[in-house]
Amino acid sequence: MSGLLTIAGLGPGSAALVTPEVSAALADATDVLGYAPYVARVAPREGLRLHPSDNRMELERAGEALNLAAEGRNVVVVSSGDPGVFAMAAAVFETLESYPQWQDVAIRVLPGVTAMLAAAARAGAPLGHDFCAINLSDNLKPWSTIEKRLRLAAEADFAIALYNPRSASRPAGFGRALEILTEAGCGERIIIFAHAVTTPRERVEALPLRDARPEMADMATLVIVGNSATRRVGRWVYAPRRAS
Ligand code: SAH
């Protein structure tokens, strides 16, 4: 029996943004694993086993998925957005590194629309010039690394996408991030708060960074800090394609 492990991105929320390739993989799957709210986005059907699990169970989930695929099952691990962006694909490869017995399992990674791109499209074109993405969660890296990356990204004049900006377990980090960006001279830059984009709860707001408050972000928000040239045209925000 030759099983298959597919690591797939479900996009930011709207069913219209699930790629046809990912839909086809889900239609063929025998098992779907993932964080419970993402597995809940997969329609149940006869012959499909759903395996929802808790947040922060990435390595256990990856091991279970590799094991099922090694037994010959057609397994799909789901992430929101893109599976390679702060998500399950890296967790599967970390697990593979530790368990050589799964080295021969067939694996494929199917891209999805990451939150940053869906948020940028709603605002206009804030990623039209050079940009970077930073995960503000300090679960898997020290906060000092996050501070350093924020400072250097501001100095390099990148537009900055911030994932996982603020959670109940980390209420202070995002406020500190705003302080660091202000100290780095970004107070006049435009900041975009894109909440639950492409879902019925979507809300998108753009304002000068100096007016931003930490409570404007939560775990369903993708934040984009513009570069120094990012500007408004009508209701849109965009980064010009040229830089000095
Ligand atoms: N793999 C995902 C990111 C997982 S990290 C992707 O590629 O999009 C989870 C973070 O993504 C959230 O804290 C939030 O910052 C962002 N996010 C995910 N879905 C979102 C949505 N619909 N709207 C805004 N931000 C979203």
How far is it, in rounded angstroms, from Cα 203 to Cα 217?
11
Residues facing residue 60 across a β-bridge: none
Q: What is the pLDDT of residue 1?
A: 62
**Positive/negative CA dihedral, 131, 132, 133, 134:** negative
161 CB less than 6 Å from ligand 1? no
Ligand 1 mean position, distance from CA 224 (Å): 12
Q: What is the pLDDT of residue 55?
A: 85
111 CB less than 6 Å from ligand 1? no
Q: What is the pLDDT of residue 110?
A: 98
Q: Of 150, 38, 32, 146, whose CA–CA distance to 87 is shortest? A: 38
Q: Is 217 left (phi over 0), alpha (psi -120 to 50) or beta?
A: beta
Confirm if 32 and 48 have CB atoms less than 8 A apart.
Answer: yes
137 CB less than 6 Å from ligand 1? no
Atom of ligand 1 nearest to the CA of 194: 24
Ligand 1 mean position, distance from CA 80 (Å): 7
Ligand 1 mean position, distance from CA 13 (Å): 9
How far is it, in rounded angstroms, from Cα 34 to Cα 55?
9
pLDDT tens for each residue of 143-170 = 999 999 999 999 999 999 999 999 888 8
Which of 110, 164, 202 for mutating ligand 1's site (highest number of atoms within 8 Å of CB)?
164
Which ranges of the chain have pLDDT less than 70?
A: 1
Q: What is the pLDDT of residue 171?
A: 84
Q: Which residue's C-alpha comes closest to atom 13 of ligand 1?
A: 164
50 CB less than 6 Å from ligand 1? no
12 CB less than 6 Å from ligand 1? yes
Ligand 1 mean position, distance from CA 223 (Å): 10
Confirm if 222 and 161 have CB atoms less than 8 A apart.
Answer: yes
Secondary structure, 3-state, the chain = CCCEEEEEECECCCHHHCCHHHHHHHHHCCEEEEEHHHHCCCCCCCCCEEEEECCCCHHHHHHHHHHHHHCCCEEEEEECECCCCCCHHHHHHHHHHHCHHHCCCEEEEECCCCHHHHHHHHHEECCCCCEEEEECCCCCCCHHHHHHHHHHHHHCCCEEEEECCCECCECCHHHHHHHHHHHCCCCCCEEEEEECCCCCCCEEEEEEHHHCCHHHCCCCEEEEECCCCCEEECCEEECCCCCC
85 CB less than 6 Å from ligand 1? yes
117 CB less than 6 Å from ligand 1? no
pTM for this structure?
0.97
